[in-house]
Amino acid sequence: MSEAPPKLEWRSVAKRFDGPPVLRSVNLSVAAGHSLVIMGGSGEGKSVMIKIAAGLMPLDSGQILIDGQDVAAMPARERRRLPARFGMLFQGGALFDSLSVWENVAFRLINADGVTRRQAKLRALEALDRVRISREVAEFYPSELSGGMQKRVGLARAMVANPEIIFFDEPTAGLDPVTGRAINALIREQVKSLGCTAVSITHDLNSARHIGDEIAMLSGGVIVWRGAAADIDHSGNAMVDQFVHGDP
C-alpha cells in the first residue's frame, strides 16, 4: 500500500523581493492531522512561507502541493476553491473593524458559503463558546476587545468553517505570558478536536513546544533542521541551539 502524500508540501520554493532572496529553496512538508511549527529569526521569511502556501503571495519558483497536487497545475476552478480549505489566524487578528465580533466569525459562512445570517450567527456563537468568548461579547466591535480576546475571535473565525489546513501567524505575539499560554492551549485543543493540519510560525519557543508536533527551523532561506517538538533542546544543530539558547 502506498503512503499517503503529505497534506501540504513546499518543494524547492524560492522567493525574492528587492535584494537578496528571502527563500532560496525551501523543502518542507506536513502530514495530515499534524501540527508543524516553523521557527526562525526575524526577517528569515517565515511569514512569506505561509503566505505563499495560503495563496496570498506568488512564488518565484518551486511548487506548493496540497494532498500531492501541485497548486499551480490545478484547474482554475479548483484553485479558486482552495481558500475554502484553509483557515488563518493573523498576527494582529485582522478582524474587520466595521463588523461585530459574531459577524467577523460568521463572515465566510455568510459571504462565501451562502449560510443564512440566522444560521451563521448560531454557528459563530458556538465557535465563540469553543474559544471561551462569552456570548455578550458577540455584539461588540473588535476595537472594544483586548489583544488576547481579538486573537480568540480570530481563532474562532479561522476554525468556524472546519478548514483542512489552518495557518497561525505568530499566535502569541504581543500577548502577556498568561494569555499566550491560554491561546496556545486553545490552539492545541481546537486543532486536535477538528483533526485539521496546522502550520504555525512563531518566535516563542514555549508556544512552539506547546502547539507543535514537529518543529522546523528556517535560516538563510532554507530549512536547516526539522524534528519532533520534544527534540528541540537537543537537536544537534548549531543554529537551532543558538536560537533555543538565545546566544548572540
Partner 1 sequence: MSSIPAPLQPLQAIGRSFLNIVRTTGAVAVFAGRAVLAVALPPWFPGQFARQLIGVGYLSLPVVGLTAAFTGAALALNIYTGGGRFNAEQIMPQIVALGITRELGPVLAALMLAGRVSAAFAAEIGAMRATEQIDALHTLSTDPFRYLIAPRLAAAVLVLPLLTVVADIIGIAGGWVVATRTLDFNATVYIRNTWDFLQSWDVVSGLIKAAVFGAIIALMGCYHGFNSSGGARGVGRATTNAVVSAAILIFAGDYLLTTVFTHT
Which residues contact partner 1 by CB under 8 A?
51, 54-56, 81, 83-84, 86-88, 90-92, 94-98, 107-108, 111-113, 157-158, 167
Rounded to whole angstroms, how far apart are CA atoms 233 and 231?
6
Nearer to partner 1, 94 or 137 (CB): 94
Beta carbons of 145 and 137 less than 8 angstroms apart:
yes
SS3 60: coil
Sequence-distant (6+) residues with CB within 8 A of 60 are 14, 15, 16, 21
Nearer to partner 1, 33 or 83 (CB): 83
Rounded to whole angstroms, how far apart are CA atoms 230 and 214?
8
Nearer to partner 1, 24 or 85 (CB): 85
SS3 65: strand
Which residue's entry shows cell 530549512?
Answer: 223
For the four alpha carbons of 56, 61, 62 and 67, in that order, the dihedral sign comes to positive
Nearer to partner 1, 87 or 180 (CB): 87
Nearer to partner 1, 15 or 51 (CB): 51
Nearer to partner 1, 101 or 232 (CB): 101
- Classify strands 61-66 and 8-16 as parallel, antiparallel or unpaired: antiparallel
Least Å from the CB of residue 99 to partner 1:
10
Beta carbons of 49 and 201 less than 8 angstroms apart:
yes
Least Å from the CB of residue 58 to partner 1:
13
Least Å from the CB of residue 5 to partner 1:
23
Beta carbons of 208 and 37 less than 8 angstroms apart:
yes
Least Å from the CB of residue 89 to partner 1:
10
Least Å from the CB of residue 238 to partner 1:
34
Rounded to whole angstroms, how far apart are CA atoms 116 and 138?
17
Least Å from the CB of residue 2 to partner 1:
31
Nearer to partner 1, 65 or 109 (CB): 109
Least Å from the CB of residue 162 to partner 1:
13
Q: Please report, for residues 8, 23, 70, 85, 246, the alpha-carbon distance to residue 241 in angstroms, rounded to integers and kept in the order given.
A: 27, 22, 34, 35, 8
